[in-house]
Amino acid sequence: MKTHWLIGGLAGVFALGALAFVQGGDTEGAEAAAETGQPIGFLHNQHAGAEPGQNNMNCQYCHFSAERSVDAGIPSVASCWGCHQVVAGQTEQAQTEIARLRGYWERGEPIPWRRIYKISDHAHFPHMRHVNAGLECQQCHGEVQTMGVLVERDPAWGGNNMGWCIECHRQPDPVTGEAQASVDCSVCHY
């Protein structure tokens, strides 16, 4: 099992070899992690940002089920560990946070991330329908690739307000002129 991840991890690092793996690290927000209740100071910008020194990873590398499932999915500890058993961090801050990740891996525990985006159970939101319709993650979740520790919803997110969903569904389809998506109660409430 460990050997398997060692190979996976090295392969992952080599596959991403063209990306800048570095240096200086953007530690902004990591301090706040403990205070805000995220168990590890995971920085989206450091992994998904395209600035120098950031790793420019595709969102769906980690949220791999967004285009085929209702849930976008949160990556497992194993998928983090594929890189982090070789990437131990350059700054003291990074090393401390990555050591926490190691702890979850060694104990075989899932990381108890705090959930941020959630709608009530009486409504249903299928990611795959939206992603396959060509919507960008950022339209609903904001510029995640520029953010440090995620603690709050993007101000433009309206998922707990039905009007936000309906307003976009009512937009005319450029070809048919009809609503681009259904506003029947039963597509969202069942």
- The values of phi and psi at residue 172, to 5°, are -70, 140
Among 152, 166, 170, 172, binds ligand HEC (CB under 6 A): 166
By CB under 6 A, the residues from 113 to 152 that bind ligand HEC are 113, 115-120, 123-127, 129-131, 133, 135, 137, 139-141, 144-145, 150
Q: How far apart are CA 159 and CA 68, in angstroms?
A: 20
Size of the site for ligand HEC (CB under 6 A): 83
Give yes or no for residue 63 binding ligand HEC (CB under 6 A).
yes
**Distance in Å, CB of 3 to ligand HEC, minimum:** 18
The tokens for 190 are 């069942």
Give the residues across from 179 on adjacent strands.
172
Give yes or no for residue 34 binding ligand HEC (CB under 6 A).
no
**Distance in Å, CB of 151 to ligand HEC, minimum:** 8
By beta-carbon proximity to ligand HEC, the closer residue of 7 and 74 is 74
**Distance in Å, CB of 164 to ligand HEC, minimum:** 6
By beta-carbon proximity to ligand HEC, the closer residue of 1 and 33 is 33
CB atoms within 10 A of CB 37: 11
